[in-house]
């Protein structure tokens, strides 16, 4: 929940007054610890290898990106990957069949593409992607997504999201037939059914039949773009084959990650985020949405305690390694143990003024007898 609502919740449930600034600062500090724990886990996996995990029979991997608004006015892409098991279930009437994903878990960060695919290893290894019998990767045609699949599961069955591929077909049809026309609606309905239940070559043939109808350059460009995109990904849009094997053809699992992890917390009315606060909060959101909050909280507390102990030991070592400086007048003056230099300079002049000046002696001013008169008086007393 937003920080202001969290403060009210704490006040209501625990009768404890907590400032919004304190709540925000503590949340980000724990989020940084959660993010660091994932990074340490990836480094450990690279060093020690992946240990014993469950061996799922079929796994679904789906990745995509969404955007959050920053305080600078820019939009930053937040990348998400959803991992879960899938199975074919029948409808309530027992006639139609659908593929349902379950036991979903997420990894979400605003890292760059290479950093994201590197640190996503912790969640994918936890789910046993490398040991699954069948891995199905449902994504769109973005290059960073295909690179992500190459990095983690190169043997996965790659499927272009059906709605994404159908969007290219719809764009070509709107360019030729016009938006909202009856000719476009009937043509698009036929192509959508054909793309889902017939080999993809049929849909490409329908697009080629539209080329004589393209009279403007914009129409020709839209047709060429759709054909080029689908032709390059012909093996990944064979939806009749995928459905016959019981594979999912939609990316609804990663869309749920956008809604639950990102949009529910980051894209409420008027929200803008500092760049350094996005990933720590995403790390906490992953723990909540993956239903591993208790485990993650214990790890965060242990991590912070270890960091505190490490900092104290480092300070102690630094203090012991520093050489003892000799005591000099300069260090004493700097520490304030000696009087300031101005007072020390005035002390000799004060002592000099305390002595009588020779010209002010009483013998000179006839206040005391002179030495000669003193001797003369002494001789007269002896006689």
Q: Does residue 350 carry a pLDDT above 50?
A: no
Does residue 341 lie within any of the structural domains?
no
- Specify the length of the chain in residues: 383
Give the pLDDT of residue 374.
53
The CA distance from 63 to 5, in Å, is 31
Q: How many structural domains compose the chain? A: 1
Higher pLDDT, residue 123 or 346 = 123
Instruction: Encode pLDDT of 123-142 as tens digits.
Output: 999 998 988 889 999 998 88
Is residue 183 domain-resident?
yes
pLDDT for the residue 1: 86
**Cα 317 vs. chain centroid, distance in angstroms?**
32
Q: What percent of the chain has pLDDT over 90?
A: 58
Determine the Cα–Cα distance for residues 178 and 14; give it in Å rounded to an integer.
Answer: 60
In a domain, 17, yes or no: no
Q: CB within 8 A of 31, min separation 6: which ones? A: 277, 279, 280, 281, 282, 283, 284
371 in any annotated domain: no
How large is the average pLDDT for residues 150-163?
Answer: 93
Do residues 83 and 102 make contact, with C-beta atoms less than 8 angstroms apart? no
The candidate with the shortest Cα–Cα distance to 123, out of 186, 165, 61, 68, is 61
In a domain, 21, yes or no: no
Residue 303 in any domain: the answer is: no
Average pLDDT value for the chain: 85
Exposed / middle / buried, residue 253 (Cβ in 10 Å: 0-12, 13-18, 19+) = buried
Q: What is the mean pLDDT of residues 139-147?
A: 90
Nearest to 255 by CA among 121, 109, 58, 62: 62
List strand residue ranges (DSSP E) for the chain, in order. Answer: 58-69, 75-90, 97-109, 134-139, 157-160
Q: For 346, how many CA atoms within 13 A lie in the half-sphere containing its CB?
A: 5
Look at 200-204, 262-266, 370-374 and tell me which has the smallest mean pLDDT: 370-374
The better pLDDT of the pair 305, 372 is held by 305
Q: Is residue 12 part of a domain?
A: no
**Is 164 a member of any domain?**
yes
Q: How many CB atoms lie within 10 A of CB 273?
A: 18
DSSP per position, 250-277? --HHHHHHIIIIIIHHHSSTT--B-HHH
CA gap 59, 102 in Å, rounded? 10
Which of 256-260, 327-331, 361-365 comes out lowest in average pLDDT?
361-365
**What would the DSSP string read from start to end of 8-52?**
HHHHHHH-----HHHHHHHHHHHHHHHHHHHHHHHHHHHHH----
Domain residues for the domain of 84 are 53-273
Lowest-confidence pick of 18-22, 160-164, 275-279, 369-373: 369-373
């Amino acid at each position: 929940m937003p920080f202001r609502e969290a403060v009210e919740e704490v006040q209501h449930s625990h009768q404890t007054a907590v400032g919004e600034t304190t709540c925000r600062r503590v949340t980000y500090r724990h989020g940084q610890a959660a993010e660091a724990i994932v990074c340490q886990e990836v480094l450990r996996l690279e060093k020690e290898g992946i240990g014993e995990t469950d061996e799922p029979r079929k796994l679904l991997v789906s990745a995509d990106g969404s955007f959050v608004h920053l305080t600078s006015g820019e939009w930053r892409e937040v990348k998400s990957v959803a991992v879960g098991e899938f199975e074919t279930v029948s409808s309530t009437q027992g006639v139609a069949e659908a593929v349902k994903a379950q036991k979903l878990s997420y990894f979400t960060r605003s890292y760059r593409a290479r950093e994201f695919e590197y640190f996503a290893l912790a969640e994918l290894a936890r789910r046993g992607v490398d040991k699954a019998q069948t891995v199905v990767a449902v994504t769109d045609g973005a290059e960073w997504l295909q690179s992500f699949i190459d990095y983690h599961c190169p043997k996965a069955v790659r499927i272009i999201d059906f709605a994404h591929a159908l969007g290219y077909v719809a764009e070509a049809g709107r360019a030729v037939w016009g938006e909202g026309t009856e000719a476009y609606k009937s043509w698009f309905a036929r192509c959508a059914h054909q793309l889902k239940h017939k080999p993809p070559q049929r849909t490409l043939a329908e697009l080629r039949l539209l080329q004589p109808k393209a009279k403007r350059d914009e129409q020709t460009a839209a047709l060429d773009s759709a054909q080029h995109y689908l032709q390059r990904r012909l093996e990944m849009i064979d939806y009749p084959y995928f459905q016959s094997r019981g594979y999912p053809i939609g990316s609804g699992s990663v869309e749920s990650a956008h809604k639950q992890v990102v949009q529910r917390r980051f894209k409420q009315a008027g929200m803008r985020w500092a760049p350094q606060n996005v990933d720590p909060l995403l790390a906490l959101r992953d723990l909540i949405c993956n239903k591993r909050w208790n485990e993650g909280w214990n790890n965060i507390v242990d991590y912070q305690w270890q960091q505190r102990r490490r900092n104290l030991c480092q300070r102690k070592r630094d203090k012991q390694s520093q050489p003892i400086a000799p005591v000099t007048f300069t260090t004493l003056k700097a520490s304030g143990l000696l009087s300031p230099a101005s007072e020390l300079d005035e002390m000799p002049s004060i002592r000099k003024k305390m002595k009588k000046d020779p010209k002010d002696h009483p013998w000179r001013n006839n206040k005391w007898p002179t030495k000669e008169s003193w001797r003369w008086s002494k001789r007269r007393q002896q006689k």
